[in-house]
Chain A
Amino acid sequence: MNIHLQTIKSMSQEKKQSSIAFVIGASSVGTLIEWYDFYIFGMLATIISKQFFPADAGTAALLSTLAIFAAGFIVRPFGALVFGRLGDLIGRKHTFLLTLVIMGGSTFAIGLVPGYATIGWAAPILVLILRLLQGLALGGEYGGAATYVAEHAPAGQRGFWTSWIQTTATLGLFLALGVIIFIRSSQGVEKFSAEWGGWRYPFWISLLLVGVSILIRMRMSESPMFSKLKTEGKTSVNPLKESFGHKRNFKMVLLALFGAVMGQGVVWYTGQFYAQSFIETVCKVEFIQSRDLMLWAILMATPCFVLFGWLSDKIGRKWIMLFGMLAAVLTYRPIYKQFLVLTNAKNRIEKIDLSKTVVSPKKVIIDKKDNTKIYVVQHFDTAYTDGAVFKYTKTDTLQLSATYDPSSSIDSLSTTKLILTHSAKPNVVIEKTMDHSTYWSLIWLVFIQIVYVTMVYGPIAAFLVEMFPTKIRYTSMSLPYHIGNGVFGGLVPFLGTLIVEFTKSSATPNGDVLAGLWYPIGVASVCFVIGLIYLTNKIDKNVMD
């Protein structure tokens, strides 16, 4: 009899485990795809700025795209309010199904918008609207998925199970990077960057991914806790008022934001976005290599989300998150300084491999719109004994005199007929392909930052779920999460770039390239102090209430 009972008990345990595994899988796939949709825009920001903005305003176009990028993040808190309310009123399942449809639809549509060259200002306006829709959808997705999984997870394992949802943001980034690298490598730069080129494919692929995810999510049932509340007629009538209108709950929303999520947000975006942008635009590491190394670092660090989620069930959430924040505050500047040291040509002078160092013949290109203007392009490849190759492309802009005959060869032109335009300084584009050892050093430096991300982010879903009651959980946890991540975190690249711009002067035209780090360091420091003083390390075993 006893054996029979034990068998039934173990079978029911197995069924429970596989049901949780399905819940995690189905929720995670959808959330991962939403992150993928959201990130491809940011990763293709440079191409998007060229395609959707006037061609003559390089920096302005990039900043405009970044502003749209920021807008995507800024509307996330609004998405949290709209869909959080809906999730607490009609249920978790249908709400995050809706967010998935909005996200997938708007991502696919971005891939269909013709460029500025074809439809003028309608292009950036359409892209802005679609980007806002993406932000709105994302604002509703995460809170729903985290709440849904946490409400299925057994007590004492909530950190472990919700940590799988926490991997999705990073894996979405991984997927986005992987798809972009694959298409770009198989198409080549020119085809990829053309108006209807390969950069649009990642947006179109989204439709397929979202379709699959919707099918999976349709098979899911409503969260047991929410169903119970609904059956008992105890769901909230006005989740917004109950979440933010009552001091007892609102004070917890503020504590969640200032004591945990704002620090987590800046650590997340610095480790995974600012790092990549810094390596590519400041250190000038070649496009594919700068993304490849991110992929390796993400791949190696991702299991740590689950590790720290699991650990948070044993020792509490607070100290793991705070340690991650403190480590980030103390080591960001040394890490980024090391990025500069490793990729600096001056540190490699001794190792130049003259046998492989090449200077190409000058190539002359006549401006198609203004045939009195020519560009003289020359490549210098400096090879190093350790295998690194730094490519310099120098472009001189020359103004031709009126007597110039476009049919004559450049060699026959006497220098007196050419006047160098003094307003245009020679433009030098640098692309560095690092040697194996430096490449791996860069990977480890990014890896360390992503480990910080896993420390602050792994336990946070469980931490937030445990802070708020079931009937207003979706609304209450979504808002601080998306202000912390969307506003504080999402603005890291934008504000980082802006701070560096402020340090530029005529004496230092490049400014202090490390100055952008003061923003995440400052925010994480304040958050660390608040978390240390005000947060408790207690785990709420009963989230059924």
Chain B
Amino acid sequence: MKRLVLGGNDAVAYAVKQSHVDVVSAYPITPQTSIIEKIASFIASGDMKARFIKVESEHSAMAAAMGASAAGGRVFTATSSQGLLYMHEVLHWAAGASLPIVMANANRAVAPPWSIWAEQTDSLSQRDTGWIQFYASNSQEAYDILFLSFRLAERVKNPVMVCMDGFLVTHTKEPVVIFGDEIEEFISVKETTPLLEVDRPKAIGALAFPQDYMPVKIEQHKRISSALAEFKTLSDQFEKISSRRYDPVYVYGEENADIVIVAMGSNAETAHLAVDLLNRDGIKSKLVKIVMFRPFPKDELIKAFEGAEKIAVFDRNISMGKGGITKDEIVGALGINNVVGIVCGLGGADVTENDMVKVAKDILEGKIQEDMILWGGR
């Protein structure tokens, strides 16, 4: 193992290189492009043995990934924002066909106005496509979760999306532990079975009348839901190799907190600092980070919120006419009423630890009682 200074995009490219991927099909888009550029250079130099399929759009990138995956290959692609949205229809197809494709998404705000900066509305608006979704908050997580994602996708036969906030994770370079051969025993296990076989012809996605459609969808829901338990099993194996632990929900700070800060992606890094400041001021606080968003980690969140007086959910995303998306998911799944949603950081706007501390204190003092939009002008 060695430590290198890498951005999230670099880290993802290294993980793909080490994951015995057979096919990469992708179309460039900022701030994802440096992932596939690096992969293309690994393939060109012979450091990575995979087929790179250049396509004319994201819709085709996912269609090509489906074909390669259906033939039994380990497949990777990457996109962002407008590209992900252009892929939308095929995302449903890939998940419905139980294809274990792994995709990195650089979270970028959706136009208009045109923006290339961080926001999670792009991938959260793909919430219902049947993809497993992870949110990495730093380069190390992006690297590690990629390995776990290939194994998980193949174990549960479901595609996985690994999301990183644009620039704040994708391009922010920091020390990352890169595996040598240690990862081989974990990542060389392929549980892929070709959906399409020459000797056993069949069709995928045929017409299903109502009596057939429901059972297929029930099966699909069970399949993706099983990812929570399977992730833990794989995470146990991964921890033995790396000494790093990944759970659907990550917790930092004090038990029975006066205030819980919930964050996903890059905000969760800064939130550590907010929790430290609050605890220093004698306010018991805790960070709850959502690492796995789909399937939704309801039981893990119930446990993480035990004894919490107030919960502040910071969302770098928005459902227009409703508010923060993870806040809504939490309230919907847990049926709790001590939650305040804070929409913040849209289009790459800064969210600082001092912003979080102020909101937390204002909630505890009763100054903030309703969901809000945090906008300090930078």
Q: Is chain B found bound to chain A in the same assembly? A: no
Instruction: Give chain B's interface residues, CB within 8 Å of chain A.
Output: none
